[in-house]
Structures are given as structure tokens and as C-alpha cells.
Amino acid sequence: MPSFDTVLEADMVKVKNSVENTAKEIATRFDFKGTPAAIELKDKEVTLTGNSDFQIDQINDVLRNKMTKSGVDIRFLDIGKVEKIGGDKVKQVIKVRNGIETEQAKKISQLIKGSKVKVQAAIQGDAVRVTGAKRDDLQAAMAMIKAELPDMPLSFNNFRD
């Protein structure tokens, strides 16, 4: 029986490269000289530090440009609030989303069950497996999921006939 998995996965190698390129640009830019402006990646969290909100916004802008150039969808970024960390320094934590959350997985399965397409959806951990009798039905389900959930950078893998 044909099936595919709906997943939400960022390419962490490209994310790491984007963060490193951003760090290089911060180190060489004139407006960041002599400031505590920095960016680092730990696990799936990017931490930006700087003197002010404006500086954090500048670093964020550079990061987004680098990610776009390397082919990483910026919808994977879950941007947190800017926090004061003592003195005149501020920081911002950006989480890189990986895996479909339970409520989003339920939303996807309800969307599939509510449609007229003859496929079934099953939540499996942080992915949603969609199975159907015909390949055309699966392709219709993919198109419907992409159209109905434009705010999520979903991808489809494990397509089996």
C-alpha cells in the first residue's frame, strides 16, 4: 500500500553553516567592532547577544539572509523575545523547529480525514504517515496539505509504492 511521511525537519548542517557565516560577518563588520555582538548555535537553539535591540535586529537580519542563501526556510525559526542579561547587554534565543508538534499533527490528520481524498493519516512520533490505495490520492493529499498549511515548512519523505 503506497504511503509517505509528512515531516518538519531543518537541514542542521546548513543551519550551522549559516550561523558560522553570520559570526564571520559580525566579526568583520565595522558597526559591530568593539561590541559584545555574537551568535552561537547549541543543539537546536541559536543565541544572539548584543548591546541593544537594534543590534540584535541587525544580527537577526544577517542570519536570515545567510539562511535564505543557503536554502534553509526561515519558517523553521521560532524567534523568542529579547531579554536583558545584565549591564547594557541583551540576548535573544531562536529555536530551530524540528519535528511536528502534537497539536499540529492532529490538525494535519483532521484535515486529511475531513477531505474527500481516500487516504488515512496516522501520527507516528514527530511525523504523520499518510497511506492510501492510489498514488494519485497521495499526491492530492500532499498538495492539499501544502495549500492548507502555508505557515509550516513541511516536507514529504519515505514515499513508497
Question: Domain of 122: which CATH number?
Answer: 3.30.70.860
In a shared domain, residues 77 and 143: no
Output the CA torsion 70→75→76→82 (10° steps). 100
User: What average pLDDT does the segment 62-79 reach?
Assistant: 93
In a shared domain, residues 106 and 88: no
Q: Over the Cα atoms of the chain, what is R_g?
A: 20
Alpha carbons 6 and 146: distance in angstroms, whole number: 10
pTM higher than 0.75, yes or no? yes
Domain count, the chain: 2
In a shared domain, residues 30 and 67: yes
Note the pLDDT of residue 21. Answer: 95
Predicted confidence (pLDDT) at residue 15 exceeds the cutoff of 90: yes
Q: Domain span at residue 103? A: 3-8+99-160
Note the pLDDT of residue 149. Answer: 87
Note the pLDDT of residue 155. Answer: 87
Say whether 141 sits in a helix, a strand or coil. Answer: helix
User: What average pLDDT does the segment 130-135 reach?
Assistant: 90
Note the pLDDT of residue 57. Answer: 94
